[in-house]
A and B are shown apart, each in its own frame.
Chain A
Amino acid sequence: MAKLPPYTSTGEYIWHYIYRGICGLIFLFLILPILIVLPLSFNVEPYFSFTSGMLNFDPKAFSLRWYEDIFRNGMASPDTPFGWSWLSDTWNNGQWIRAIRNSFFIGVCATLLSTALGTLAAIGLSRSEMPYRRLIMSILISPMIVPLVITAAGMFFFYSKIHLSQTYLGVIMAHAVLGTPFVIITVTATLVGFDKSLVRASQSLGAGALTTFRKVQMPLIIPGVISGGLFAFITSFDEVVAVLFLASPEQRTIPRQMWSGIREQISPTILAVATLLVILSIILLTVLELLRRRSERLRGITNS
């Protein structure tokens, strides 16, 4: 914590601590709702609130039943003992398991598509020779800005006409479009600090365009590409409106399953899934932070 300068008056001292207190409360507002789902997901009762047993730390008030339910929900014969048949049953029939599989499949495909296209476009856009740069950039960023309902409704009409609605390809295309702005923004941000003379140096040493890209440019912008890819992945992983409009039950994703869970039968299984998602986002955040540090180190910005 920063030391207060010696000329600070008493009033300022008081204000300083009040201000810290206010900020602390705002941080609580930000973080508490996310942390509160963790204990609630271990509730033995099918409620969304703390029971008196939980508050007294009674071990009987806690259980893993909602985590079990993630696997059991939708199984053809949930009572069979654990084994190969149980595993194949939950893999093929479990509603949440299906949603998790779909989310990862769609997310990975959409991320690959949007990262590949987005990175190329960002490199092109960062060149000063690019004509109509500003206009094209604003069109490419617009999927992030246009209200999702409008995007999804438009896709519903158009994709139905070309027989893409209710298919995996349709959902993947929709998610890829929604993810590209993030890739463009992050890769462009890395390219801003990119030293053009490195490219010229490599070319003057006889490297072709592809070699230059692979050996010089790519290693330097790779942190931006990966963090853009993570953004694209989380966008797809979290997206529900396009899935609501475009997907058939076969393509249900985790957020879609949560959506119907909240609307139809509220059960703490949603909280268990939410806990898993919070853990996933902590992992992604850590990866992103490590990438940021690496990128700073590579560019010679030291962390004070």
Chain B
Amino acid sequence: MTRKSRFLAAPYLVWLAIFTIIPLALIVVFAFTTTVTVDETGRIITAEELLSAEADGVVLGELTEKTVFTLDNITATSAYMPVMVRSIWLALIATVLCLVIGYPTAYLISRLTFSRQKMMLMLVMLPMWMNFLLRTYAWMTLLERNGWINKLLGLIGLGPFEMINTQGAVVLGMVYNYLPFMILPLYSIMTKIDNSVLEAAGDLGCNPIKTFSRVVWPLSLPGVATGITMVFVPAISTFIISRMLGGGTNMLIGDLIDLQFLGNAYNPNLGAAISLVLMAVILLCMSITNALDNEDMEGGALL
């Protein structure tokens, strides 16, 4: 444990540079560049010129490919505004739903006896450990036109409803997949709230609603902030849930990125630009959450 041992970190620092910093830098580089064809004099040959020259049988001389700086990719992302707005909107709804459903769940679990808490936590984590493709696939079975839900509804004379390939199905998939990410951080904060604190609030004249708004909620805010980030980030960047449950008509940012890199629309430069926009959106949303958290934390400290 001497000063010398800090050199043990050297291999990791090299690793960090190659596999974290350079790849992220590459996204920025790709986002602001494009590959063009130039002739010997360095003049840029456009795609139309190339085509017409080929048709006319004109030889343009030695052609090479060159990477040049451009803002076109960034401005091109504005064409996908509807997709971005939809992604933010659906991810927001899913996050709020997870909070509304997960908050009482986490609270109820945190008031159980120790061994029961452990059991319940295990039940929350178990679906999380199953491959999320399988979990999403399960909902395909339930939601499809001849699926179980429509069958059950049919028994009482309702439906069939068009449930799969809708935005509602995508939100449902998000809530189902990411609900444990909301419950776990909330639980780990709430389990630290001692029952005696709640009893003290009651003894001092708080009704249950006041106890919640002035004691439980302020104390649980760090967990709320963590939970929101842990649901919102994967929800806004997903591309599998939207593809499996949204049926290709409800594209999200993730689908756009996937299309540019591995899909038919192969264009890594545009894909990198969209990725950059996605990172910016997430950073913005996270800083809003953090600001809220800090503000309320001060309020909680005063309490």
Chain A bound to chain B: no
